[in-house]
A and B are shown apart, each in its own frame.
Chain A
Amino acid sequence: DAGVTQSPTHLIKTRGQQVTLRCSPKSGHDTVSWYQQALGQGPQFIFQYYEEEERQRGNFPDRFSGHQFPNYSSELNVNALLLGDSALYLCASSSQGDGYTFGSGTRLTVV
């Protein structure tokens, strides 16, 4: 039973560039949430997707956007990267009646 799969595991980008991170949810899950975890801090909620729409959003600028596909997989896009966007990005999937399952994350470094 595959859990949550995130890709890539690591990447390095330059300030001002754009990046796309991908997430495949656990089988049977229909909701995907994205979190940003800066070094030494707790994960911060970015947004949540359900039925291909953004259902909730945390306190992140519009540079952060996302998408959910009909197969429930999801993408996180960040435009105009800043050094402060360097973090571990975690994807979590869930469904009603089942808890959250987290992926191992994508480590983004902005230089």
Chain B
Amino acid sequence: AQSVAQPEDQVNVAEGNPLTVKCTYSVSGNPYLFWYVQYPNRGLQFLLKYITGDNLVKGSYGFEAEFNKSQTSFHLKKPSALVSDSALYFCAVRDPPHSSASKIIFGSGTRLSIRP
């Protein structure tokens, strides 16, 4: 079965500094990975996805993620954090990866807090 792990419950960054939110995956075959963001009392908003191709994926709101096959990681990054980036971030994987009858499996989430 496909799974993802987010090793950090919380990440604290000063505004203007770069941020990284970590994710590792365990899949059979080629993974289909996502990052979602959740603001308080809201649903999940799609940030970006990796299917194949370039290991650096660019997404919404200036976020990007780096796919690393040898380390089975898919870390979310942003060069300069904003206070408005403070939210709950989920790494996710599609299971099975390339089927129309797939579901999305989520990690446990990382709370990102950006201090002014």
Contact = CB atoms under 8 A, between A and B. Distances in A.
A103 interface: yes
A25 B48 CA distance: 21
* Chain A at the B interface: SS class: strand
Interface in B31-80: 36, 41-46, 49
Given A41-B108, A45-B104, A56-B103, 20 more contacts: A4-B43, A40-B109, A41-B109, A42-B106, A42-B108, A43-B90, A45-B105, A48-B103, A56-B101, A90-B43, A92-B104, A96-B100, A99-B46, A100-B104, A101-B46, A102-B44, A102-B45, A103-B43, A104-B41, A104-B42
A90 B44 contact: yes
Contacts of B43: 4, 90, 102-105
Interface in B73-101: 90, 100-101
A99 B50 CA distance: 12
A81 B96 CA distance: 31
A41 B88 CA distance: 10
Interface of B: 36, 41-46, 49, 90, 100-101, 103-109
A4 to B, nearest CB: 8
Nearest to A44: B106
A24 B65 CA distance: 31
Interface in A37-87: 40-45, 48, 50, 55-56, 58
Contacts of A104: 41-43
The 10 closest A-B pairs by CB, nearest first: A42-B106, A102-B43, A102-B44, A104-B43, A96-B100, A42-B108, A43-B106, A45-B103, A42-B109, A103-B43
30 contacts: A33-B104, A35-B106, A40-B109, A42-B90, A42-B107, A42-B108, A42-B109, A43-B90, A45-B105, A48-B101, A48-B103, A50-B101, A55-B101, A56-B101, A56-B103, A90-B43, A90-B44, A96-B100, A99-B46, A99-B49, A100-B46, A100-B104, A101-B46, A102-B43, A102-B44, A102-B45, A103-B43, A104-B41, A104-B43, A105-B43
